[in-house]
Amino acid sequence: MAYDKQLPKKSDDISGWYNALVLQAELAEYGPAKGTMILRPYGYAIWELVQKKLDAAFKANDVENAYFPIFIPESLLQKEKNHLEGFSPELAIVTIGGGEVLQEKLVVRPTSETIMYASYSKWVKSWRDLPIMINQWNSAVRWEKRTYLFLRTTEFLWQEGHTAHATHNEALATRQWAMDTYAQLFHDSYSLPGYIGLKSATETFAGAKSTMTYETLMPGGKALQSATSHDLGQNFAEAFDIKFQDKEGKTELVWQTCWGLSTRSLGGLFMVHGDDKGLRLPPELAPIQAIILPIRATDELQAYINQTKKDLLDIGVRVKIDDRDGESLGFKINKWELKGVPIRIEIGEKERAEGKVKIVRRDTGESAMVDTNQLQKTISELLVKIQKNLFDQAEIALAEHTHTSGDYEDFKQQMSDSKGFIKANWCGDSHCEDTIKSETTATTRCKTDSTVEGNCIYCSKPHAAEWYFAQSY
């Protein structure tokens, strides 16, 4: 019974609060092997809602799912040099199989470019075989020294989309489509606004030509890279010899993209919307959207409660009755506030006598008595309102913590005081980027969409584009 333990205050201790929240709300817990995480049913149900939405969007764009093995022979991973260098320090390696030391070591999938593209090179012969648009729902393993539930785990769940196209333009359009799909998911389901743009060379995915990212703001002022979409150019096509005959009969290399979103994004969801009482889930991603708490249920009252549940099920609301024995009403209220259920419905003899139910919003704490004949309308409208309110609150926080700076001393001061995003011009030189990082721990998060150039915040060189800087998870 975790629900009677007090959470640390979010504003006092963001890390302590977050960790306690994830554990007490039964979203996840630490696995027995260092760095791993157990996704408990309540946390996994949220991931299933994400999967359902993304999978439908992928299929609507003719993306097909497939499954490639978890074991990648070391030699395959070595084919693209930058890719190998990027992932080498993080690998988990199988050296024993079936009681014998293996002749060739097997890497546990850190990402699937190499194993997938080895197949693509066999599958593609003609322009008629293109595009290839394949997605996988699986887990990936990247060794982590420090664990942070959801945000940094050695194994994480994700989807990875991998495409091959006849032209660079088509690949770029697909890279953009994937990011648009993520952006819509973050807006409509996560209620998480964010900044979208290209990464600097240093922050680009190992082996990619360029990386587009969705960056969200966490309370405490750090940024979270929440989804990425990459233009791979022809780097892997060359390494894996993925060629096709075009309509004129010429042999060409394909152009590729890949894009992914992981359970890491759920960490952002919990951290941004949660408060001192626990989670606040946006209705679109709430496994339970409305919880009914009976107050001293008699047989007569039970029928009334069942009818309420049925009315809500009928309009597609994910609703449950908590009739668990041996817990007080107060205990249950705390429990479901901790678990972030958007709407609580309390029903006792008083409510039944009046033909009403009491409803309480998790996001604002507001309550109201609602006539049962108005219930369906009220609840469906309220779910939309709560979804929007959470987005609006996060958008205000993002705006409040996004500043512009034209002076490096001011930049350093701001990054040390209030953190958040700072828009500043940067010349593109990795020396400036590195120095800013070592002096402020802030990195370039992505390019802004501004076309106005200025002087580099560090070296003052002119014609420098504008970038978002922030500290990050």
The nearest distance, CB 97 to its own copies, in angstroms, is: 5
Return the residue of 33, 56, 60, 353 that touches its own copies, per CB under 8 A: 33
Contact letters for its own copies, residues 378-407 (x by CB under 8 A): ------------------------------
The nearest distance, CB 67 to its own copies, in angstroms, is: 4
Is residue 146 close enough to count as binding its own copies by CB under 8 A? Answer: no
Give me the DSSP letters along 339-358: TT-SEEEEE-HHHHHHTEEE
Q: 325 to 344, contacts with its own copies by CB under 8 A?
A: 325-326
147 close to 34: Cβ distance less than 8 angstroms: yes
Q: 109 to 128, contacts with its own copies by CB under 8 A?
A: 115, 118-119, 125-126, 128
40 close to 2: Cβ distance less than 8 angstroms: no
Return the residue of 9, 15, 61, 69 that touches its own copies, per CB under 8 A: 69
Name the residue nearer to its own copies (CB basis): 242 or 464: 242
Return the residue of 56, 60, 145, 328 that touches its own copies, per CB under 8 A: 145
Give the rounded distance of the alpha carbon of 228 from its chain centre.
Answer: 10
Span of 141-149, 272-280, 309-317, 431-439 interacting with its own copies by CB under 8 A? 141-149
Name the residue nearer to its own copies (CB basis): 296 or 324: 324
What is the spatial distance between Cα 343 and Cα 270, in angstroms, rounded to a whole number? 17
Give the 3-state secondary structure of 200-226.
Answer: CCCCCCCCCCEEEEEEEECCCCCEEEE
DSSP structural state of residue 128? G
Would you mind telling me the total number of residues written for the chain in this entry?
473
Is residue 148 close enough to count as binding its own copies by CB under 8 A? Answer: no
Residue written as token pair 């994700």: 158
Is residue 1 close enough to count as binding its own copies by CB under 8 A? Answer: yes
Return the residue of 6, 12, 32, 299 that touches its own copies, per CB under 8 A: 32
Distances in whole angstroms, Cα of residue 6 to Cα of each of 2, 67, 234, 338: 9, 43, 54, 10
Name the residue nearer to its own copies (CB basis): 108 or 470: 108
CA dihedral 171→172→178→184, nearest 10 degrees, is: -150
SS3 305: helix
Name the residue nearer to its own copies (CB basis): 42 or 389: 42
What is the spatial distance between Cα 342 and Cα 285, in angstroms, rounded to a whole number? 10
160 close to 258: Cβ distance less than 8 angstroms: yes
What is the spatial distance between Cα 13 and Cα 20, in angstroms, rounded to a whole number? 11
The nearest distance, CB 108 to its own copies, in angstroms, is: 7
Return the residue of 31, 86, 220, 454 that touches its own copies, per CB under 8 A: 31
Interface size with its own copies, residues (CB under 8 A): 60
Q: Please name which of 144, 159, 158 lies closest in space to residue 36, comparing C-alpha atoms.
A: 144
The nearest distance, CB 149 to its own copies, in angstroms, is: 13
Helix (H) or strand (E) holding 49: helix 41-60
Return the residue of 15, 52, 78, 93 that touches its own copies, per CB under 8 A: 93
The nearest distance, CB 95 to its own copies, in angstroms, is: 5
Name the residue nearer to its own copies (CB basis): 64 or 180: 64
Return the residue of 8, 44, 152, 253 that touches its own copies, per CB under 8 A: 44
What is the spatial distance between Cα 291 and Cα 336, in angstroms, rounded to a whole number? 8
Name the residue nearer to its own copies (CB basis): 124 or 360: 124
Name the residue nearer to its own copies (CB basis): 48 or 407: 48
Span of 96-104, 328-336, 388-396, 460-468 interacting with its own copies by CB under 8 A? 96-104
Whether residue 41 has a cis bond before it, omega within 30° of 0: no
Neighbours of 333 (CB within 10 A): 18
Residue 465 has, within 13 A of its CA and on its CB side, a CA count of: 16
Q: Which residues bind its own copies (CB under 8 A)?
A: 1, 29, 31-33, 36-41, 44-45, 47-48, 64-73, 76, 88-99, 105-106, 108, 115, 118-119, 125-126, 128, 134, 138-139, 141, 143-145, 154-155, 157, 324-326
